[in-house]
């Protein structure tokens, strides 16, 4: 869940007074971004649950996150620029997080 905290910080820091922002050339589509966030959260949750001290396994966690990004053909800077772009539009980022949370909640409920 620390990833959500990081993303919220990005949202807060990306809020500026400018009226519009340029669409990144390599913008990740919302549906793909939702899937990526879900997988990254799953990886992070696994490391926290299994290892209890994720800082000791930071390199393995980072490596696992890179595997998720490679699966989607996305780079870390591309992910960051896409999140920055969507964060500029509160309704967009809200809908992304809402869909992400709904999907995760459905996964948890179906696992029970």
pTM of the model as a whole: 0.76
- Between 73 and 57, the higher pLDDT residue: 73
* Rounded average pLDDT over 48-74: 86
| pLDDT tens digits, one per residue of 75-104 | 999 999 999 999 999 899 999 999 999 998
Please tell me the distance from the alpha carbon of residue 84 to that of residue 31, in angstroms, as a whole number: 16
Q: Is residue 16 pLDDT above 60, yes or no? A: no
How far are the Cα atoms of 18, 34, 46, 51, 71 from residue 42, in angstroms, in the given order?
34, 12, 6, 14, 15
Mean pLDDT estimate for the chain? 83
Determine the Cα–Cα distance for residues 1 and 36; give it in Å rounded to an integer. Answer: 14
Listed by start position, the domains of the chain span 37-103
Tell me what the mean pLDDT of segment 63-82 comes to. 94
């Amino acid at each position: 869940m620390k990833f959500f905290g990081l993303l919220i910080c990005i949202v807060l820091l990306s809020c500026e007074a400018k009226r519009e922002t340029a669409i990144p050339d390599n913008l990740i589509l919302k549906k793909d971004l939702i899937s990526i966030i879900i997988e990254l959260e799953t990886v992070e949750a696994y490391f926290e649950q299994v290892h209890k001290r994720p800082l000791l396994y930071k390199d393995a966690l980072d490596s696992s996150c890179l595997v998720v990004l490679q699966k989607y053909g996305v780079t870390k800077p591309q992910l960051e620029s896409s999140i920055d772009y969507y964060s500029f539009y509160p309704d967009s980022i809200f809908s992304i997080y809402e869909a992400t949370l709904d999907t995760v909640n459905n996964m948890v409920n179906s696992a029970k």
